[in-house]
Structure 1
Amino acid sequence: MIELVIFDCDGVLIDSEPLGVAVDRVALADLGLPMTEQEVIDRFVGHSHGAKTALIEKLLGRPLPADWWEPYRPLHRELTEERLAPVDGITEALAAIELPSCVASNSSHRWLRTGLGLTGLYQRFEGRIFSGAEDVAHGKPAPDLFLYAARTLGADPAACVVVEDSPHGLAAARAAGMPSFGYTGGVMPAERLAGPGTVLFDDMRKLPELLAARHRGAELAG
């Protein structure tokens, strides 16, 4: 029986990944690290800001100033305000899901409030939003964030399921001992999401029935 459905945010609830990738490409080019869209996706999608900064510093061979991202914040804000939308089908899916749920993302609380607020989803999860960047010592792919969310909401980790769209998020779910559903309708290739305990699906409208089947005790396939 499912006690808690744990949703990632970016790429699962809000369609923010393409916008973030576009801004990252501009920033990386300015830093002397030009990358294709797919290279940015492969290297950085699913990372917290701190983890992404560490990766860029490793590639550059030098440290970055603490405020290196600030010049690109206006561009990100502009794209977000103009284009950010809920992931296709998620509004219908959430309306059909009656199980307890929460959000657990590597993003900051500031971004989670902004992104979920702009897409009309914040009130759906208010009070049940967890940040890997701020609430735990180690974000995904460590299991800490999912275990913290389960503990805070009084759910048995073994009775939680995770909805993710990144390899790091799914690795965190596996490390936490939580079955997972990997959404393949976003920027990440399906083969990067496959793994033990993970059911892949390509349309958010399918999620309510997948959860219902799991809740009824149907065995996970995949």
Structure 2
Amino acid sequence: MKGFPVTKRLVIFDCDGVLVDSETLSSQVMREMAGAAGLDFSSEQALEFIRGRKVAEWVGQLEARLGRALPASFIPQFRSRSADLFATELRPVPHVRQVVEELGLPFCTASSAPREKILNTLSLTGLLPYFQDRIYSAYEVGAWKPDPGLFLHAAADLGVPAAHCAVVEDSLVGVRAGLAAGMSVFAYAPQESGTAADLMAEGAIAFDSMKELPRLLDGWNTWNPAVRATQ
């Protein structure tokens, strides 16, 4: 166990859409491949369709809409084409590097993506050194958001009670997972995404720029988790 003192807090970052600006690129590939299969999506629809979800889940929904199975090569091709696009166009989410550089709290990342993808995207964006061995994949835990298991596993592995954890997410399923785990949830919702109202309706504290996150986390760090847990 890579634990912290029990008085410590833990910030759990989602990866795609929170640390790395990958979801727009992935949704572009998904839109192209779905179009070739006979399903048309706008850019906004494609992004919402895949945001925060396991690839096999949204591929299954594509198949349901088509009324037929997609080729077995669809997911490997999606991952390969996405990786090619990441190699040239992937960037960190604006201002997130400064957040993790200056964050005075322990932190990790917990993602629905395979570990290989997490490592690749963090490496491409220069964020990997900040996370070291504090990387958690749903594929290794066997729990995908909105199941809280991934977040609970990360907290337990690092020796921090769930009530002492804050989750930073950008998707409805991620927000639901964090709240189900008994954690505080902050939702990154840039203005152009149009997601703030829905994320707040789920119970998250929404913000539209990573520049705002340190102030929010500073405020959260002054809360009494024991009192909050009884409310």
Whether TM exceeds 0.5 here: the answer is: yes
**Paired AA for residue 176 in structure 1:** A
The structure 1 residue matched to 2:175, chosen from 170, 173, 188, is 170
The structure 2 residue matched to 1:99, chosen from 88, 94, 105, is 105
Alpha-carbon shift at residue 73 of structure 1 (Å) = 4.2
Instruction: Work out the CA distance in 2 between the residues paired with 1:77 and 1:89.
Output: 23
5+ residue gaps in structure 1? none
On the 8 A contact 1:18/1:187 being kept in 2, the answer is no
Which consecutive aligned stretches of 4+ in structure 1 deviate over 4 angstroms post-superposition?
none
Give the corresponding residue for 2:47. Answer: 41
Give the corresponding residue for 1:58. Answer: 64
**Paired AA for residue 201 in structure 1:** F
The one-character-per-residue Cα deviations of 1:166-186 (angstroms, maximum 9, x if unpaired) are 111001111111111001127
State whether structure 2 residue 22 is matched by structure 1 residue 16: yes
Instruction: Work out the CA distance in 2 between the residues paired with 1:21 and 1:192.
Output: 20
5+ residue gaps in structure 2? 1-6
Change (3 A) 1:123 1:188: farther
On the 8 A contact 1:150/1:160 being kept in 2, the answer is yes
More helix by share: 2
Change (3 A) 1:46 1:75: same
Give the corresponding residue for 2:3. Answer: none
Change (3 A) 1:173 1:184: same
On the 8 A contact 1:2/1:160 being kept in 2, the answer is no
Bigger Cα displacement from structure 2, 166-175 vs 46-55: 46-55
The two structures have a TM-score, normalised by structure 1, of: 0.91
Give the corresponding residue for 1:161. Answer: 166
| Secondary structure class of the residue paired with 1:181 | strand
RMSD of aligned alpha carbons: 2.0
Alpha-carbon shift at residue 60 of structure 1 (Å) = 2.1
Bigger Cα displacement from structure 2, 205-214 vs 1-10: 1-10
Change (3 A) 1:187 1:107: farther
Identity %: 37
Structure 2 matches for 1:49-198, cutoff 5 A?
Answer: 49-132=55-138, 134-185=139-190, 187=193, 189-195=195-201, 197-198=203-204
On the 8 A contact 2:172/2:202 being kept in 1, the answer is no
**Paired AA for residue 185 in structure 2:** S
Give the corresponding residue for 1:3. Answer: 9
Bigger Cα displacement from structure 2, 108-117 vs 189-198: 189-198
The one-character-per-residue Cα deviations of 1:95-115 (angstroms, maximum 9, x if unpaired) are 221211110011111110100
Instruction: Work out the CA distance in 1 between the residues paired with 2:17 and 2:151.
Output: 17
The two structures have a TM-score, normalised by structure 2, of: 0.88
Instruction: Work out the CA distance in 2 between the residues paired with 1:13 and 1:194.
Output: 20
Instruction: Work out the CA distance in 1 between the residues paired with 2:167 and 2:92.
Output: 18
Count of residues in Structure 1 that have an aligned counterpart in Structure 2 = 219
Instruction: Work out the CA distance in 1 between the residues paired with 2:188 and 2:127.
Output: 18
**Paired AA for residue 139 in structure 1:** W
| Secondary structure class of the residue paired with 1:102 | strand
Alpha-carbon shift at residue 196 of structure 1 (Å) = 5.1
